[in-house]
Structure 1
């Protein structure tokens, strides 16, 4: 009986929360409140790196060694402060992360990040893009590549690091860089174009289903999913793919003239070691290895842009979290009473 009493109390509380939430959302909607603008966040990676070193030192070194290390750090800081007027300003390295899907959706955040960086970067600074993408839509990755070109046009050095894959549209982005670094087993290349269109015309025809397609323009629709495709339409479709492939090859050649474009633009892919032989990349290393070396002579910053959640989304997550917490407490209490 006690269990059902607690359960009824839980449902009543849940209903109350739902009603309050609904009324609040209605008030927000009626007020036509606007979502806040997105924001750029920046994190000093040198500080994070040093903190990790300090944690390990505190566990691995004895008191005497720690005291000696602390004195050395204090001495270096004092020397740096004394020579501050003579020291040339350290280079800044801005790190971006691009995790690409078929639509290259990450370009929306990357364009904001690049705009912010270029407002403060100088010619001695560097932008490092940790890139992961197997490619996708031509126009989407064309835009992503154009965004990276903005960095070079501003005379800021651009380095692309590939730990896993930069193929097809991903390599279209990577080839823009002044320097491409890839892990030994990262996959690169796939300089080709592919497209497929399912067609169920015969199935529809068998079931006496007619499909009418009307176009204004001879090649407005070359291949269709429902109608009967023609040899002329297929040939035009293939020609469009070839034209796109030519544009792809020309773009790679213009950005990376050291490659033999005809030998690598076959749609094939290579692991990092072979990609180096084919001059698709300049160096074998992980992004972590490359950035660790930058900590010694540069100030390294991770830059990211986060699109804010809409008011309804934020409230929805908060309510769900509250309900989940309440349910967990109730279930724990009920379980104890029932001997679970």
Structure 2
């Protein structure tokens, strides 16, 4: 009995200690997260170090675990595009920053995001400060960004990818056939190919045509801008890639894609010379995320000093669905609330709707479209398109006063579809499961996945989808000042780049988010204004539980699957398609 009480007492003490330690760790985590806002001191003659080895979102996540080195999370926080652009702009006029050093970046984002950062670097160079780029491996995305640098260096044994673009789709029909699942498709749009992976084993001719077209447009823009930056003819660059001429580091140097082959220590010596440091001393450098928190005084933009007049930037990023969303998904309720808030705020004189979305639920898209329409009636609304603003992403954009896209933004995809699985063979033949029941009407069990659709049911669903497409094209026609017949001719689910969309009237001009803000200010007749962001990001405490579980689980899955994570995400997306009619991009565009 005595031994029993000893074990009980030890257990109680152990549990108590775990609780106390856990509580202390919790306080430490919160304190560490809060301390992340401490101002960083920037030394004179510093180099701003830029390294993009993380996915770039539209806004920096307000996540307490984003910069804490535990459970596999990164030590450095991942900055959003908004803070990246702010930091580069700040460095341009900061006398303590002598130049920028970029290295080892993988650009795990769409091309329009890279374009925005590249343009910010071009603007930075107007200050006369240097930009040096170095890498052991240049992906095509990072090389495109680095091409604006004054000097581009490659490791003598390194790799530079310069081979052209490719886009690949994962087809699941064979797997579904083996499982005994039939994807029943109801759609409108010759090019609305989001459903093709479910019913085909290769690309349709129409889909191949559209992908060839927009991929060619993106590649032409890629080569043109590199050619301008490196003073090499665009056709010459095309031949380099098409003939496989850039294989070794020496090839990149010979054909002037890089300025030198150097090791990291040689680059650091070069940076010391540029900043007036002796060889024996360390370089004064500051990381991009630390620089954002610096207290360095810079010249304030005179347009952004007044709090009486405001321009609201409403971020709509991710797939569109009903209910609440977050930084990486568009919830119709969340965005609607944000639009209602800025619409009724007398201090907000204009709105920039930042759209980075492949679309999603047609119903949720329409809910947001309605709020955009109401907002436009009382104050200017300018849309700024990010990497992708297609299908539902274009639907929520089309009501704006003006649409601004990057040349390599993916947009259009005006179409609608629905997917209903028929799992009869899986249940009956594979699992031996059968169903039986009664109903009070012919269509009472419409949507039952245990059997195929009847011809009458398919006709009803097709009518609903046709109605949705009619609403879509009417909304676009009204918003763009075109006839519905014309919108139908360029619609049909076809995907376009920003450059192509400009020519056919789907966007008004090419530019970035700063251009959209300037356009909003002009329409509202504002000389001075303050930028405010919506929807409000959740606080540290609000995100504590969900941040841990979601962040850790996502990173573990990514680590296990590697490059196959994209397939996992695609399969998850397909399950969402099977719920409601969709206004969604044909698939995720992956440039290899």
Bin the TM-score by the shorter chain: 0.5 to 0.7
Which residue in the other structure is 2:314 paired with?
A: 96
- Report if the CA contact (8 A) 2:307-2:529 is conserved: no
4+ runs deviating over 6 angstroms: 19-22, 46-50, 315-318
**Of the candidates 325, 341, 346, which is equivalent to residue 121 of structure 1?**
346
2:511 counterpart of 1:285: yes
2:493 counterpart of 1:267: yes
Q: Which has the higher contact order (CA 8 A, sep 6+)?
A: 1
Q: Taking structure 2 as the reference length, what is the TM-score of the superposition?
A: 0.39
2:149 counterpart of 1:110: no
Q: Deviation at 1:257?
A: 2.1
Separation in 2 of the partners of 1:271 and 1:256?
17
Q: Deviation at 1:218?
A: 3.3
1:152/1:103 Cα in 2 relative to 1: closer, same or farther (>3 Å)?
same
Separation in 1 of the partners of 2:307 and 2:531?
15
Q: Deviation at 1:256?
A: 2.2
Q: Taking structure 1 as the reference length, what is the TM-score of the superposition?
A: 0.64
- How many residues are aligned here? 266
More helix as a share of residues: 1
Separation in 2 of the partners of 1:209 and 1:13?
50
- Report if the CA contact (8 A) 2:320-2:359 is conserved: yes
Which residue in the other structure is 2:415 paired with?
A: 192
1:102/1:109 Cα in 2 relative to 1: closer, same or farther (>3 Å)?
closer
Deviates more, 1:279-288 or 1:253-262: 253-262
- Report if the CA contact (8 A) 1:180-1:282 is conserved: yes
Post-superposition Cα deviations, 1:238-262, rounded to whole Å, max 9, x if no partner, equal 2221122112222222222236222
Q: Of the two, which has the highest radius of gyration?
A: 1
Post-superposition Cα deviations, 1:37-60, rounded to whole Å, max 9, x if no partner, equal xxxx9x9xx998874443257647
Structure 2 residue runs of 5 or longer lacking an equivalent are: 1-12, 24-61, 63-81, 100-126, 129-298, 549-592
Give the 3-state SS of the residue equivalent to 2:359 in structure 1: coil
- Report if the CA contact (8 A) 1:276-1:282 is conserved: yes
1:110/1:13 Cα in 2 relative to 1: closer, same or farther (>3 Å)?
farther
1:315/1:95 Cα in 2 relative to 1: closer, same or farther (>3 Å)?
closer
Q: How does 1:1-40 map to 2 (within 5 A)?
A: 16-18=17-19
- Report if the CA contact (8 A) 2:310-2:532 is conserved: no
Post-superposition Cα deviations, 1:216-269, rounded to whole Å, max 9, x if no partner, equal 443344343112432222222222211221122222222222362221221111
Query: How much is the aligned-residue C-alpha RMSD, in angstroms?
Result: 4.2
Q: Deviation at 1:139?
A: 1.1
- Report if the CA contact (8 A) 1:213-1:227 is conserved: no
2:527 counterpart of 1:297: yes
- Report if the CA contact (8 A) 2:381-2:402 is conserved: yes
Separation in 1 of the partners of 2:527 and 2:436?
67
